[in-house]
A and B are shown apart, each in its own frame.
Chain A
Amino acid sequence: MTQYLELVCPAGSPAALRAAIEAGADTVYCSYNDRTNARNYPGLNFDVEEMAEGVEYAHKKGCKVLIAINTFPPAGQMKDWQAAVDNAAAAGADAIILADLGVLDYATRTHPNLRRHLSVQASASSSLSINFFRDQFDVKRVVLPRVLSVEEVAKAVEETGLEIEVFAYGSVGPMSEGRCFLSSYMTGLSPTSEGACAPASHVSYKEDGDQVLSCLGDVVLNRVSKNEPAAYPTPCKARYVTRGNASYLFEEPTALNAMDILAELKKAGVTALKIEGRQRSRAYVSEVVGAFRKAVDALAEGDRATSDLSSISEGKKQTTGAYKKGWR
């Protein structure tokens, strides 16, 4: 089986969309600038007109566009999500990426011909779950949660018959995504319905002697010395104290980098590699997409390309995350 690894790249803005395409993206994914997506941060994303222009531009360059509408509408407020689905269809998106059962149901009934992908936010972590979404909503592709090993990824490919997309680079999400209420526990704003985990409006840094405290809401998530870089205070990358020891209990502030195991992922049968980071700068997108373009092309030639991305990684550290068994 000749198999091409599709490179799916983040476009948090029209500028990032052009940068990603320039750097070699096969596909970009983006969102509308409201709470219908899981990266609802100020200044990011596309309005309806920009999206239509973005799709047109990408298509001219031979690049596909996926639109993520992957948060969970609160009761009585489904209209915004339905409008996003309608707008994505009108813009000519190649697919929409969904998570909520109600939104999936709406899209399936209203726009049966608009391709549906299942978002990582749907937390479909077994073939049984994936096949439910396949059978009920005819999803064509699933973005797997960042909690599976390479062996489990291979099983998902084999047992579902669907296109499988996996994360290749970016944030590590140790929790089952779409079902984590830690940020709202601390801020009152729900990532599941408002689309922002650890929103900047609730982040603060306070000096305390020769240390800096990173806070989310009123909660101190870390304490570092002034000359240490303070990682962004996300609840799952905070330092907590258990049994008298302070540690990064959930996950170190580190970046997922699967570049060294691309051959294994390809062998597992994945269709697409996703690069996380719609909230990142255009320069970051260019650098990461460029490096992965080279690596994927080298792999297609039977070679192996690696590139040192550690300087732009979160905490300057990298991990292969759950792909390797020892992570758990």
Chain B
Amino acid sequence: MEAGMVKTPHAQLTLGPLLYHWSPEQRRDFYFKIADEAPVDCVYLGEVICSKREPFFEESFDEVAGRLKRGGKQVLISTIALVTAPREMAEIRERAASDALVEANDVACLQALHGKPHVIGPFINVFNEGAREFVIRNGAVRIVLPVEAPATSIKVLADSPVETEVFVFGRQPLSIAMRCYHARSHGLTKDSCNFVCGLDPNGLSATTVDGEDLLTISGTSTQSHGYAVLLNELDELRKMGVTHFRLSPQDMDMVAVASLFRDTLDGKLSVKEAQSRLQGLSDDIPFINGFYYAREGLTWTEHRAA
């Protein structure tokens, strides 16, 4: 997709980058299945949370990307959300110099991508039209809004000359740190982590001291416990001008998740039915949508017309 192109009327379903540490085999098999079976239009590959995880996926990367492309999917490369190390900077420069369409998740990446078409990821703050106009001048052709953006902001920001993407399913990333909390919970540090994040393919639960479910840890990232679900709001989002709808990979049947979002977008499935099927796929993990309604992020609000 080039900047300035007319927006497609077809709502695009995207699969965001994997935010957990899966084994190379699990990653490869997951993406093969997505390539062959999932009705998604775009797939973001690449490691966002921790650069120590990256080498694990390098081996099968080309194979996976090729299969996704053969499956008719646009393949994008996401980059690390918190860049500090020289090795991480070198990698970003390398990706920016490649032919791939890159999702920038740290401003560091914008320096390397300056003037070249790219996607602004949800870890770069574009909360207002001033920031949006600036990143478009710098080469952004698609902007994934921060998960915290409420409907009132999305409405303004999606009225845009470029594509707008919104996070509509999965655990919301709430913060990113230099410290690895996964390692800390095992009495280890980031440098000596033993890749303990690999033990929890859907993240590590962090409850309150009273045992209430609250947060999920994946390495240096802290996420919501509940799955953000904007099914009821899809129609409204489309009317606002949102073009791309992001599903974030969880350790569950993501082909089924993609299918029910696709069918809801296409009017083939009622929101009520989709929500009930999604709950069936999600074990007992609650749904949340608080940020959309400018409420506590961890809350759920039944749909009300905007």
A residues contacting B by CB (< 8 A) are 72-78, 100-106, 122-129, 131-133, 135-136, 147-148, 152, 155, 174-176, 178-182, 184-188, 190, 192-193, 217-223, 236, 239-243, 245-247, 249-251, 322, 325-328
Shortest beta-carbon distance, A64 to chain B, in Å?
27
The answer, yes or no, to whether B296 is at the interface (CB within 8 Å) is yes
Is there an interface contact between B127 and A73, defined as CB atoms closer than 8 Å? yes
Report chain A residues within 8 Å CB of B92.
128
Is there an interface contact between B290 and A174, defined as CB atoms closer than 8 Å? no
Is there an interface contact between B294 and A176, defined as CB atoms closer than 8 Å? no
Is there an interface contact between A192 and B178, defined as CB atoms closer than 8 Å? no
The answer, yes or no, to whether B176 is at the interface (CB within 8 Å) is yes
Shortest beta-carbon distance, B183 to chain A, in Å?
8
Report chain B residues within 8 Å CB of A245.
185
- Output the nearest chain A residue to B92 by Cβ-Cβ distance: A128
CB pairs A–B below 8 angstroms (22 shown): A74-B127, A75-B153, A76-B152, A76-B156, A100-B127, A101-B125, A101-B135, A102-B133, A123-B82, A125-B108, A148-B84, A176-B82, A180-B174, A181-B291, A184-B296, A184-B297, A185-B290, A186-B298, A221-B208, A249-B181, A249-B184, A325-B191
Report chain B residues within 8 Å CB of A175.
175-177, 222
Give chain B interface residues in 279-304, CB to chain A under 8 Å: 290-291, 294-299
The answer, yes or no, to whether B99 is at the interface (CB within 8 Å) is no
Q: How far is the CA of A239 from the CA of B147 in the complex (A)?
A: 25
Q: Which of A155, A181, A185, A221 has the most CB of B within 10 A?
A: A185
Shortest beta-carbon distance, B111 to chain A, in Å?
4
Report chain B residues within 8 Å CB of A251.
179
- Number of A-B residue pairs at CB separation under 8 A: 229
The answer, yes or no, to whether B128 is at the interface (CB within 8 Å) is yes
Shortest beta-carbon distance, B128 to chain A, in Å?
5
Report chain A residues within 8 Å CB of B82.
123, 125, 147, 176
Report chain A residues within 8 Å CB of B114.
132
B residues contacting A by CB (< 8 A) are 81-86, 88-89, 92-93, 106-112, 114, 123, 125-135, 138, 146-150, 152-157, 172, 174-181, 184-186, 189-191, 204-212, 214-215, 217, 222, 224, 290-291, 294-299
Q: State the main secondary structure of chain B at its contact with A.
A: mixed
Report chain A residues within 8 Å CB of B83.
125-126, 128-129
- Output the nearest chain A residue to B174 by Cβ-Cβ distance: A181
Given contacts A126-B106, A147-B177, A186-B298, contact A249 B157 (CB under 8 A): no
The 5 A-B pairs with the shortest beta carbon distances in the complex, nearest first, are: A102-B130, A185-B297, A75-B156, A132-B111, A147-B178
Shortest beta-carbon distance, B152 to chain A, in Å?
7
Shortest beta-carbon distance, A29 to chain B, in Å?
21
Is there an interface contact between B125 and A100, defined as CB atoms closer than 8 Å? yes
Q: How far is the CA of A223 from the CA of B299 in the complex (A)?
A: 23
Is there an interface contact between A76 and B84, defined as CB atoms closer than 8 Å? no
Given contacts A147-B84, A193-B127, contact A219 B153 (CB under 8 A): no
Is there an interface contact between B128 and A100, defined as CB atoms closer than 8 Å? yes
Q: How far is the CA of A185 from the CA of B189 in the complex (A)?
A: 26
Report chain A residues within 8 Å CB of B175.
175-176, 179-182, 236
Is there an interface contact between B174 and A328, defined as CB atoms closer than 8 Å? no
Report chain A residues within 8 Å CB of B180.
328
Question: CB within 8 A of B127: which of A72, A133, A222?
Answer: A72
Shortest beta-carbon distance, B122 to chain A, in Å?
10
Apart from the given pairs A73-B128, A123-B82, A242-B206, 12 other A-B contacts in the complex at a CB distance below 8 Å: A78-B128, A100-B125, A100-B131, A106-B130, A126-B108, A129-B106, A131-B111, A136-B138, A175-B176, A186-B297, A219-B298, A247-B184
